[in-house]
Amino acid sequence: MIIRRYFLALPALLAAAPSCARGPEGAPGAQPAAAAQPLRIGPEGLAQGGLAFGQATPGSRVTLDGKPVQVSPDGRFVLGFSRDAAPVARLAVTTPGRGTEQRELAITQREWDVQRLSGLPAAMVSPNARQLERINAERKRIATTRAVDSDLPYFTEPFIRPAPGRISGIYGSQRILNGEPRAPHLGLDIAAPTGTPALAMGSGRVLLAADLYFTGNTIILDHGHGVTTLYAHLSAMSVAEGQSVRQGQRIGATGATGRVTGPHLHLGVNWLTTALDPGPLLPPT
């Protein structure tokens, strides 16, 4: 709810920026003396798995826990916090001629469910050497795809729901598959019958559209600044890698491909390689 309000407030916040904040050609660095803007971070109450937006003076350099963060020509940036993020994150914003502002961001620590799934095919829970080779190659491919830090401007756009349906699996759950502990579930599952249209949550570009071992037919969209959305187990894909998409555009249909116990849409939202909780980023039903 708070995040939604912040999203709505953001365009107003940007509209209030002085018009000289951007160079005449819109080129970064074209403006020698951008007007100073107070550093803003939202929403209030950052938590593990959360996404935050920032606004700084154009031309600023930003780091989070010492790692550089991309800043748009008009001073906008985005931050993400993992499922296991520490209670404090350190943000540093350096503005030309004005020094560095340090901020400690308090990250609320959450509690996670334990989810037990049984009756999965043995090959899906304990793959053989040949399957492992494929799985590892695909993991690398997904990680490389999610590490893309493009300058697309859609990362502040509020997301829409990709498909209607009940939430059947939540972010962060520890998974026990056929009695064996596995990596936590780092996405959100929406129960939807096979063939339900899957819609792009935001505008962007198709980074990946491929059939993968665990996630079946999988699409990853880039919304800019490392914000990506992933749609898994699709029965059909109607976009190709490199293609631009608009928010709400049909990109495929939900299904039951890959490692599943029934038809559903597995949804992932990432900030670079950090997997976020899609739940708070979806509009209320």
Which of 189, 206, 220, 227 binds Zn ion (CB under 5 A)? It is 189
C-alpha to C-alpha distance for 258 and 62, rounded to whole angstroms? 39
Mark the segment that binds Zn ion (CB under 5 A) among 14-22, 131-139, 180-188, 202-210.
180-188
Strand partners, 271: 227, 274
C-alpha to C-alpha distance for 10 and 23, rounded to whole angstroms? 21
C-alpha to C-alpha distance for 272 and 144, rounded to whole angstroms? 9
Is 277 an interacting residue with respect to Zn ion (CB under 5 A)?
A: no
Count residues binding Zn ion (CB under 5 A): 4
Which of 204, 266, 277, 278 binds Zn ion (CB under 5 A)? It is 266
**189 touches 265 (CB < 8 A):** yes
Q: Which residue is nearest to Zn ion (CB)?
A: 266
Q: Which residue, 58 or 169, is less far from Zn ion as judged by CB?
A: 169
CB count in 10 Å sphere of residue 127 = 16
Q: Strand, coil or helix: what is 220? A: strand
Is 259 an interacting residue with respect to Zn ion (CB under 5 A)?
A: no
Mark the segment that binds Zn ion (CB under 5 A) among 15-23, 119-127, 182-190, 275-283.
182-190
**Binding string to Zn ion for residues 195 to 234, with x set by CB under 5 A, is what?**
----------------------------------------
CB half-sphere exposure, 111, CA atoms < 13 A = 1
Chain residues binding Zn ion by CB under 5 A are 169, 187, 189, 266
